[in-house]
Structure 1
Amino acid sequence: MRILISLCLALGGLLSLPAFALSDSGQQALGQLQTRWAEIRYELPEKQREAAFAGLAKEADQALASEPKAAELLIWRGIILSTWAGAKGGLGALDLVKQARASLEQALAMDPKALDGSAYTSLGSLYYQVPGWPIGFGDDEKAEAMLKQALALNPKGIDPNYFYGDYLLRQKRYAEARAALETALQAPDRPGRELADKGRREEARALLAEVRKKLE
């Protein structure tokens, strides 16, 4: 059975100092992972993305080897593994999403507020996009709970609102989905995340158009 996982996660900006502050080299590594992720996700041809995300996952592992207690790097490892799974598809993606979940859960245990609660956003996205039992660990109730936690920490952020809007659309809660996606489109720009913001807004507009058709 083919498993369809359309994971395209991204993060908000950094908060003030987390439980474990990144070193200067760690901050640089984080920025490089974010930038390269956006380039692969939004600029690279689809057929080249799987191999590119595989390489980026190795870079994330290398960064974590230097700073294993950095929740931010754990979050980004989870995001990269998730999007690699989406590019890979099929049953082979299940192991990757399980690794992604473990990385995100570890980040939550260390610092739930890291990157404006982005571990909650990423986990919520996994829970509603991954198939449920007996194939995967998908769970819509857990997804909504996680996404609401993310919104509590970052109520105007582009990513938590985008993914909550996508979740609500899939649940056929169209009026709520429209509100969330409109909030996503009004989100402030994130310094250094211009390409990611541009790509996410394009995705939000596409979903919003779909929602509006449902409401007609």
Structure 2
Amino acid sequence: MKLANNHLTIAAAAITAVIASGFVSHAKSAPAAKSRFDEDVLAVANDWARVKYLSKSNDERQRNMDAVGAKADELAQRYPDRPEALIWDGIVTSERASLTWGIGALNLASKARDVLLKAESLNPKAADAGAPTSLGVLYYRVPGFPFGWGDKDKARAYLEEAVKNAPNGRDAHYFYADFLYEQGDYKAAEYELKQGLSSPAHPERPIWNTYFPKVMQGLLAKVQEKERS
């Protein structure tokens, strides 16, 4: 069993919380500073995107994603009660699952699920509903019984929760659309994709910001082809 690479990945949304500087001049605030936590989370997010989109081969991608995984695990250990840290650990672990096979893939997917369940219990809206989005993807991509614990009903429930909690979240709309496409609901999938494509960009994540819209456009083309057939 290999878990699909382009579906288990949760391209996540903006996660940098702005800290007010307290200095105001002519009713305009000075540039805001990022906390150490924000910088650490953003570093993992950008490392994930660099490895996912810019690797030259699957072997290189797997090797480098494992290194990002160690960094994400350490981040979650350092901030066990911060949902953004747990979400990114879950995202990277899911990506690692998508790059391997058999029981190793299922073990990584199960680890990601457990981390994301904790994040979702802390704050289901954090990181543009990153936890329910990622859980929804896992539940529809992991095989069901007797080979795994995948569950289409749970997937739908999490993805519906995600788009409700993050109406401007690109990932939430994209992955709900992907799920709907697989269920044959092309009209609803097209709607979700157009919502995602109209959502705000995140310039602090330049690689993801460049490549993820192309992924959305690719799925939209497939959806529209199905609608025409």
Q: TM-score, normalising length from structure 1?
A: 0.91
Q: Does 1:108 align with 2:115?
A: no
2:118 partner letter? Q
* Contact 1:13-1:115 within 8 A present in 2 as well: yes
- Contact 2:2–2:102 (Cα < 8 Å) also in 1: yes
CA distance in 2, matches of 1:103, 1:203: 26
Aligned to 1:155: 167
Q: Post-superposition, which runs of at least 4 consecutive aligned residues in structure 1 deviate over 6 A?
A: none
Contact 1:15 1:116 in 2 (8 A): no
Which stretch of the first structure deviates more once superposed, 59-68 or 175-184? 59-68
> Mapping of 1:1-216 within 5 angstroms?
2-6=1-5, 7-14=8-15, 24-45=35-56, 46-216=58-228
Letter in 2 for 1:109: S
Distance in structure 1 (CA, Å) of the matches to 2:11 and 2:140: 16
In the TM superposition, residue 57 of structure 1 has moved relative to its aligned partner by 1.1
Distance 1:171 1:93 in 2: 24
TM-align CA RMSD: 1.7
1:65: Cα distance to partner? Answer: 2.6
Q: Percentage identity across aligned positions?
A: 34
Deviation at 1:27, TM superposition (A): 1.6
Residues 75 and 89, structure 2, Cα contact 8 Å, conserved in 1: no
Is the contact between residue 93 and residue 108 of structure 2 (CA under 8 Å) also seen in structure 1?
yes
Residues of 2 paired with 1:24 and 1:188: CA distance?
22
Deviation of the 1:91 alpha carbon: 3.3
Higher alpha-carbon Rg:
2
Q: What stretches of structure 1 of length at least 5 have no aligned partner?
A: 18-22
5+ unaligned residues in a row in structure 2: which ranges?
19-33
Report Cα offsets for 1:70-100 as digits up to 9, x if no partner.
Answer: 1111010000000011112333200000000
Q: Residue type of the partner of 1:59?
A: K
Q: State the shift of 1:25 in Å.
A: 2.3
